[in-house]
Chains A and B, each alone.
Chain A
Amino acid sequence: MWQPFVVLGLFYGAVVALLYITQQRDRVDFEEYAVGGRRYGPAYIGMSYVQSWFPGAMFVAFVALGVNIGTLMYYCLAYSLLGLTAMYFMANRAWRWGQRHQLRSQPHLLELRYDSSGVKLVASVVGIAAIMPWVILGLQAMAILFEVSSNGAWSLTTCLLLGMAVIVVRQYWTVRMGMRGLIMSDMLQGIVAYLVAALVCVIILADKNSPAPYGNLAHLPEKLTSLPGMEGTGYGPLYVFSLIFMGVIGALAWPMSFQRIYTASGVKSVKSGTVYAIGIAGVFYGFLTIFTLAAATWPKAIEAPNLTWFSALQEYGGVWLLGLGVVMVLGASMGHVDGSIQVAGLQIANDLVHHFKPLKDHQLTIVAKGSMVVYMAIAAILAYVTIEMARLQLLAQMSYYLVIQISVPLFLGLFTKFGNRWGAMMGMIAGSVVAIVLTVEWIDDIPALGGLTAGMVGLIVNFVTYAVVSLLTGQSEEDKKRVDELFLEALPPVKRQALGLDPVVGPVTTMQAEPAVVSEGEQP
């Protein structure tokens, strides 16, 4: 079965060719490397966000969820789209503060808002640590592509090593080009992974003789149309609420998703990019869910739910369509892993190393590149070592509960003037500890709390700590004035003008904004 490999090779070659053609040969500074020079329009922002959000696991784990539990699969659609609305509502402050103060990461923004490098360090460490299990899972998920493509002829170790090799080679370009390479490849990978995938779902649904005809939906068994939390399901009524709420507020807690705001050319690009992202995510995941539920009663899907995507495509269109299906998963996986590694390297350089040892612009770029290489190498080794480790899923769940703790200072700091550095720091630490400890005992829901998850309990502790500590430690007049000024400078020009202020606020010059000195061609 060589056909899937031909399709895989063609797609992989096209991505590398695109990166080669679009690379900048002139000198780039760290601003260009980290946030792509803040010049991308809505289509790029929208697709790039979706790539940072939907990994290849959507075609495997989430399809399996739909086959096994039915409409619960929709929870991801609801929280993905509602989470995106947060990006729209925080666009004014996040982008304008970013542009004015040359912010390059989400922890960098928290440092500005709370005037505290401690908040930045805690948020950055949490973000970098939380990304790692997902990079490992992303690399391991690549193994399944080669297993499917070889029709099970190759061993798991061989498939894992090949999958990792594909990603590692691809990383050369991410390390070399930084954010620009990411955004360019996101567009191509995203079109194939999400838009072509949605089209394939529609075609299969429309055919009465396919493994997933639309007509199947009218005859779904009751267990596939009911939600956990209903009588007899074994879950509390708050279980689905927990899943969706954590997803909504966690959407921009993930550093790689938040980072997209800083690559935009303006607030208008962030906002219209959000509308694009909602459209792309909605079309892709909506049709994938309908397709999955239509396939849920197909015997081959019941036999191997996590291979439903591949087996349905092969059944319907033969090995060439299977190859295309494999390419879609590859596109989604590569985009997600790339984005994760890029932002991890950026945060290590910008938020951690630069904090303890101030670096010049070109040194920041070198440290970011080196950090990406080391981060990727660690992830690759761990992916190989932990391939048989059943508890890795627990680690991933824990990391999700961990990263959403950033959302309390992020949301309260961007949408209100309430709170200070002590509340933000103590809240994140308390929430993280509670979430991790409870996850060890209750990885899924906590029945005694009506189905709430450990992450939700951590969030409640985080929020209460933030409020109580902020009230107890208070806010100085000087700090209140600083925060007032920050909120004023983020107002749209038309509103600033109405208040009698200069409509446009120019960038603040910082020590990092020095002349560009590094050549793209000179760096490894």
Chain B
Amino acid sequence: MKEWLQGLSGRTVTIVFTVLFIIPFAMALVPPLYLWGSSAKSGAVILGQPVSMWYWNIDALLIFFLMWALYGVQTVRKENEEHVEHTPKQGGQ
């Protein structure tokens, strides 16, 4: 798993997480979606809570788990480190 994540291109990781992050952003910012999520009558209850509450709870949980997953992936790919293991190449700045 670790090697597989390290082998992915930066572009692939960016695309996957961009698509995933669009979901919680859209849930909170696209009027037809949030109005739909809140349109269930008070009778529609799941596990003791109205559907309109679950809508926002799930949005919050999605944000947390996506952020946590992105941090994990970037850490495995050593993108959060301030140092690299190999000798610096010359050139550039």
**A497 contacts B10, CB within 8 Å?**
no
**A82 contacts B24, CB within 8 Å?**
yes
**B56 contacts A78, CB within 8 Å?**
yes
- Chain B residues 68-93 with CB under 8 Å of chain A are 68, 70-71, 74-75, 77-84, 86, 88-93
Interface locus among A118-126, A226-234, A389-397, A406-414: A226-234
**B31 contacts A286, CB within 8 Å?**
no
A117 on the B face (CB < 8 A): no
Residues of A in contact, count (CB < 8 Å):
61
- Distance A245 CA – B34 CA, assembled complex (angstroms): 13
- Which residues of chain A come closer than 8 Å to B30, judged between CB atoms? 241
- Which residues of chain A come closer than 8 Å to B92, judged between CB atoms? 488, 496, 499-502
**B53 contacts A221, CB within 8 Å?**
no
**A78 contacts B28, CB within 8 Å?**
yes
**B84 contacts A500, CB within 8 Å?**
no
A41 on the B face (CB < 8 A): no
Residues of B in contact, count (CB < 8 Å):
50
Q: How far is the CB of B55 from chain A (nearest CB, A)?
A: 8
Q: Quick one: CB contact mask for A446-457 with B, threshold 8 Å, 1 for yes?
A: 000000000000
**A497 contacts B89, CB within 8 Å?**
yes
Q: Quick one: CB contact mask for A59-88 with B, threshold 8 Å, 1 for yes?
A: 000000000000100100111011011001
- Distance A489 CA – B29 CA, assembled complex (angstroms): 33
Q: Quick one: CB contact mask for A207-243 with B, threshold 8 Å, 1 for yes?
A: 0000000110111111011110110000001101100
**A88 contacts B60, CB within 8 Å?**
no
User: Which of B41, B80, B90 interacts with A492 by CB under 8 Å?
Assistant: B80
**A267 contacts B80, CB within 8 Å?**
yes
**B31 contacts A241, CB within 8 Å?**
yes
- Distance A503 CA – B25 CA, assembled complex (angstroms): 34
B42 on the A face (CB < 8 A): yes
A278 on the B face (CB < 8 A): yes
**B42 contacts A501, CB within 8 Å?**
no
- Distance A360 CA – B17 CA, assembled complex (angstroms): 45
A435 on the B face (CB < 8 A): no
**A218 contacts B45, CB within 8 Å?**
yes
**B82 contacts A504, CB within 8 Å?**
yes
A167 on the B face (CB < 8 A): no
Q: Quick one: CB contact mask for A260-271 with B, threshold 8 Å, 1 for yes?
A: 000000111001
User: Which of A244, A271, A494 interacts with B84 by CB under 8 Å?
Assistant: A494
- Distance A286 CA – B88 CA, assembled complex (angstroms): 46
- Distance A417 CA – B23 CA, assembled complex (angstroms): 26
- Distance A494 CA – B29 CA, assembled complex (angstroms): 35
- Chain A residues 263-319 with CB under 8 Å of chain B are 266-268, 271-272, 274-275, 278-279, 282, 286, 289-290, 293
A495 on the B face (CB < 8 A): yes
Q: Quick one: CB contact mask for B7-31 with A, threshold 8 Å, 1 for yes?
A: 0001000000000010011011111
- Which residues of chain B come closer than 8 Å to A77, judged between CB atoms? 56, 60
Q: How far is the CB of A452 from chain B (nearest CB, A)?
A: 11
A505 on the B face (CB < 8 A): yes
Q: A78-B59, A85-B63 are in contact. Are A497 and B39 (CB under 8 A)?
A: no
- Which residues of chain A come closer than 8 Å to B21, judged between CB atoms? 85
User: Which of B41, B42, B71, B81 interacts with A275 by CB under 8 Å?
Assistant: B71
A493 on the B face (CB < 8 A): yes
B64 on the A face (CB < 8 A): yes
A441 on the B face (CB < 8 A): no
A485 on the B face (CB < 8 A): yes
Q: A488-B93, A492-B79 are in contact. Are A81 and B64 (CB under 8 A)?
A: yes
**A245 contacts B80, CB within 8 Å?**
no
- Distance A286 CA – B74 CA, assembled complex (angstroms): 27
- Distance A503 CA – B24 CA, assembled complex (angstroms): 34
- Distance A493 CA – B93 CA, assembled complex (angstroms): 13
Chain A interface (Cβ within 8 Å of chain B)? Answer: 71, 74, 77-79, 81-82, 84-85, 88, 214-215, 217-222, 224-227, 229-230, 237-238, 240-241, 244-245, 248, 266-268, 271-272, 274-275, 278-279, 282, 286, 289-290, 293, 485, 488-489, 492-497, 499-505
Q: Which A-B residue pairs are the 8 nearest by beta carbons?
A: A501-B92, A74-B56, A78-B28, A268-B80, A227-B38, A237-B31, A81-B63, A503-B84
Give me 13 A-to-B residue pairs in the complex whose CB atoms sit less than 8 angstroms apart, sorted by A's number.
Answer: A78-B27, A82-B25, A88-B70, A88-B71, A226-B52, A248-B29, A275-B71, A278-B64, A282-B61, A489-B93, A496-B92, A502-B92, A505-B93
- Known A278-B63, A278-B67; further 16 A-B contacts with Cβ < 8 A: A74-B53, A78-B28, A88-B67, A217-B53, A220-B42, A221-B42, A226-B39, A227-B52, A248-B28, A282-B61, A488-B93, A489-B93, A492-B80, A493-B82, A501-B93, A504-B84
Chain B interface (Cβ within 8 Å of chain A)? Answer: 10, 21, 24-25, 27-31, 34-35, 38-42, 45, 48-50, 52-53, 56-57, 59-61, 63-64, 67-68, 70-71, 74-75, 77-84, 86, 88-93
